[in-house]
Chains A and B, each alone.
Chain A
Amino acid sequence: MTETAADRAWFEQAVLSVLPELLGTARRLAKNREDAEDLAAEAVSRAWLHRASLREPDRFAGWILRILTNLFLSRRRMDASRPEETYLDEEVEFSLFERLHQPFLLWWGTPEQEFLDRLLREDLVRAIEALPERFRVVVVLADVQGFSYGEIAGSLEVPIGTVRSRLARGRALLQKALWEHACDAGLRTQTPQARPEHA
């Protein structure tokens, strides 16, 4: 294949146009900004190196985000110095909706929707960053990247059942963190005391 200056210019433009997504995903995976920028920059280098594998230019964004994700995961596997995580054996069941929802307010208020209206990006970022890595990675791949369970299982080299359970635990921990933050920061909607539905 003969490459032209136009091909190169196209690659540069494609990279620059997805930079916010590239850094955003890197930031959620790598946690701190410095590591995220290194990860995103290396993904750009890898993408250039492997550009011949891009079959559909329209799918450049998904292609380079997958390169970034695979890079993060391969580094993570190779990092023998990484401390062992404390593994949560117990099931984590927590529903933010159940804490917020008040059926008796059905027709004139939805505290759970108001809660989301008040939620700041920083609140969510903090809650995701607080997740243990094994849960954070699965939540990011599913909810930020939009990977299927099968794709996550393949990327992480774990059974699909493990993906399901980590995702459920990760989301429960995330919602619990948001609830605790809401209680601390006074984000909860002020509502009348609950009373029996059939009173």
Chain B
Amino acid sequence: MHHLLTLIVLLPLAGFLLNGLAGPRLGKRFVTAVGCGLPILAFLATVQCVLTLNAAGDPLVERVYTWARIGESTFDVAFYFDRLTAVMTLIVTGVGSLIHVYSVGYMKEDKGYARYFAYLNLFLFFMLLLVLGRSLLVLFVGWEGVGLASYLLIGFWFEDAEKARAGKKAFIVNRIGDAGFLVGMFVLYSTLGTLDMDRINAAFMASPMPAVSASLVGILLFIGATGKSAQIPLYVWLPDAMAGPTPVSALIHAATMVTAGVYMIARLSGIYVHAPEASQVIAVVGVLTAFFAATIAIAQTDIKRVLAYSTISQLGFMFVALGVGAYGVAIFHLYTHAFFKACLFLGSGSVIHALSGEQDIRKMGGLAKKIPVTFVTFAVATAAIAGLPPLAGYFSKDEILWFAFASERGGSPLLWGLAAGTALLTAFYMFRLLWLTFFGRSRMTPEVEHHIHESPFSMTSVLVVLAVFSAIGGFFSIPHFLEPLLPMPEAKQELHHLETPLVVVSVVLALLGLAAAAFFFGRDAERANRLRPRFAGLQKLLYDKYYIDELYDRLITRPLYWISDRVFLRIGDRALLDGTLNGLAGLAQRTAGALGRVQTGNLHLYALFVLLGSLACLLLVWRHV
């Protein structure tokens, strides 16, 4: 099998073309078979590749074709498959396939069924391009492509103007980050003459170092990552992206696409190892994002928004790991997060499905007995994200906390403190969500309550699979698997004796979060309700997300609108461009009007003009010849 990597990428593209072009005419069964079948085939091909990789040891490289040749330099489309790619591709195709299967049940009634699967396959194609590409250029094509697919799927129900706007917001905010990313690429290319990521890493590992500041490149690329991976200051698009169908939120806005920035930085770790300043920035931005997003999540009432902020927060954790040099750990958390967050999102989808579209947790409650499979899987995933041992999230989060504390590359107690506080908040808001949704008395209208039903097997089976992986996923030690590629940072010698106490502390924090949530939100959230008036201001501040959206609106959006309207439209376009053109046209018109008076229709007058003209000519000739 020579072109297996190409095949992995092309299978979803074929699905997109088949479903996009012929899907609506060939019926639902065809769409389902193509839409789910091809991603599963891609997953199987990936498994085959992983086996080949394990046998061979060296990375698999496939050159597909030469995209452009400019002078001496060529730009190849090539695929590169090493252990890091293997982990990412397995997540993308594996979780992706599961979510495709789940979508069959979730989107059954939708009239855009074929379109939905076409977009989903398109997303998978671009994501695989992003993950498998050897060159930054191919990665960037995938990077933009997943943005496009995300835009299409957020605005999937585009009849609703609000949802279409959310799609636009995601797209535009990402553009800002992409500008930084592009500049980073230019700088790299102009100094190194190549965009192949393995070569870039090698160039930075070699001595002498390339004549470019690693921190500059690192920061520029990280700006791109803040857009795609929803970090401060560009995270604002992700909560709004929840307008899309829930499986989309699970696949794109939790498990895969938003982790692209984490992957990119881990992939280019060669640069970041030599960029302590950039790494410091990443760690600080990551931990602040994690903390702020977690505080916002506490006060949200929309089930999907809570999960969205929790995603931002968890991505912040991954960036903390990247910032302290623990690249393998970041990928580890990415991997466990893919399982439990996909499970949570799909679980919330199942809840929404059961409640005929209700998303407000204030109008839920007492669902544990009515939809038991969803409840159990959701509870497992919640425990996993909170970091209760021995579930998946415990292992990855614990390693992040340890390295945030003790890594020789920028670990510090302050970083650890904020991260640990975030972990506590995470446990608290996740269990709050669990309690409000599944326990206590029902707060639903009788109408909705009457229609409650457990989701079909195609959905619940996916939930069970994901819950199982959320439970046992932590036992596959990804950092160890990636060690040859992404070496772990050394821990500070004098802190080694604190490793075990820190583990205990993080477990205690998770349990504390659980206990606090149970205390406040148990018994129909009595205590929380009693406390609310006292903290009304704080609660409103958190509920309104620190007014960041409003701040951006005031500081950026409105001035831009103002400049566009007053300067570019009114002065530039209407006055200058239109004015010039209309003025010229008016001048021609007036001149023509004046000259037109001469044409009276009187033939004799014309003849007289001819006569005078001829005489003038004669006179001229006579005078000059």
Chains A and B come from one and the same complex = no
Give me the interface of B with A, judged by CB distance under 8 Å: none
